[in-house]
Chains A and B, each alone.
Chain A
Amino acid sequence: KAGVTQTPRYLIKTRGQQVTLSCSPISGHRSVSWYQQTPGQGLQFLFEYFSETQRNKGNFPGRFSGRQFSNSRSEMNVSTLELGDSALYLCASSLALSGGEKLFFGSGTQLSVL
């Protein structure tokens, strides 16, 4: 079974641009969540989508948005990029079962904002 796939693996953008990252979850997984990882702040939750609906959101500005398609694939978008948005963006998928949930993470997209 294929794991969580994130594209692209690396990305370089300049301040003010916008960027779209893609995530394909494990087949059969309906929940997709996104995390940002920086050296200073560590791993922080961005948002989660389940059945095309956002059901959890972290404490990030509105420049960060996402969506989920009917096949559970997800995209996240960051508009008006800032230098501080440079980070590893991780996507995780799960079956979204209650009583103990395992998240499966992709390898991430390393975004550099110049």
Chain B
Amino acid sequence: DAKTTQPTSMDCAEGRAANLPCNHSTISGNEYVYWYRQIHSQGPQYIIHGLKNNETNEMASLIITEDRKSSTLILPHATLRDTAVYYCIVRVAVASGSRLTFGEGTQLTVNP
């Protein structure tokens, strides 16, 4: 699976959009970009994933650049409950495994 690079930490004001970048310059054509987050002392929570096109769901939007070498997770209106570590993961979607390789992630702190 391709390696990802994320900033160690970010701050965001409550109510504003939080934009979390991820670099995955060695991504292959058959690798998906996944985002998970982990609130302190809880298990990681799935947010969103995509292959080529931008994706949106009730939690967030995922913007993937045309060359697929980087992506941005957007939380449109951040709340205090969005404070968490956000992990960007790139992996091949295969039927024979659900192994995820977590990096260190980005600690997002949403401030009142």
Measured CB to CB, the residues of A under 8 A from B are 4, 31, 33, 35, 42-45, 48, 55-56, 58, 88, 90, 92, 94, 96-108
A90 contacts B98, CB within 8 Å?
A: no
**How many residues of chain B get a CB closer than 8 Å to chain A's CBs?**
23
Complex-state Cα separation, A23 to B9, whole angstroms = 32
New contact pairs (18) apart from A100-B93, A103-B36, A103-B100, CB-CB < 8 Å: A31-B98, A35-B100, A35-B102, A42-B102, A42-B104, A43-B87, A43-B102, A45-B99, A45-B101, A92-B44, A98-B93, A98-B94, A98-B95, A99-B93, A101-B98, A103-B44, A105-B44, A108-B42
Tell me which residues across on chain B come within 8 A of A101, comparing CB atoms.
93, 98
B104 contacts A33, CB within 8 Å?
A: no
Interchain nearest-CB distance for B89 vs A (Å):
10
Complex-state Cα separation, A101 to B34, whole angstroms = 9
Known: A92-B43, A104-B46. A48 touches B98 (CB 8 A): yes
Chain A interface helix/strand/loop/mixed: strand
Interchain nearest-CB distance for B112 vs A (Å):
26
* B98: contacting residue among A4, A88, A94, CB under 8 A: A94
Known: A42-B104, A105-B43. A97 touches B95 (CB 8 A): yes
B93 contacts A4, CB within 8 Å?
A: no
Chain B interface helix/strand/loop/mixed: loop
Name the residue on A nearest B32 (C-beta).
A100
For window 78-106 of chain B, which residues contact chain A by CB distance below 8 Å? 87, 93-104
Task: Give the tally of cross-chain contacts (CB within 8 A).
Answer: 65
Instruction: Name the residue in A31, A33, A102, A103 with the highest tally of chain B Cβ atoms < 10 Å from its Cβ.
Output: A103
A103 contacts B97, CB within 8 Å?
A: no
Tell me which residues across on chain B come within 8 A of A4, comparing CB atoms.
43
Tell me which residues across on chain A come within 8 A of B68, comparing CB atoms.
none
Complex-state Cα separation, A107 to B103, whole angstroms = 19
Name the residue on B nearest A48 (C-beta).
B98
B49 contacts A108, CB within 8 Å?
A: no
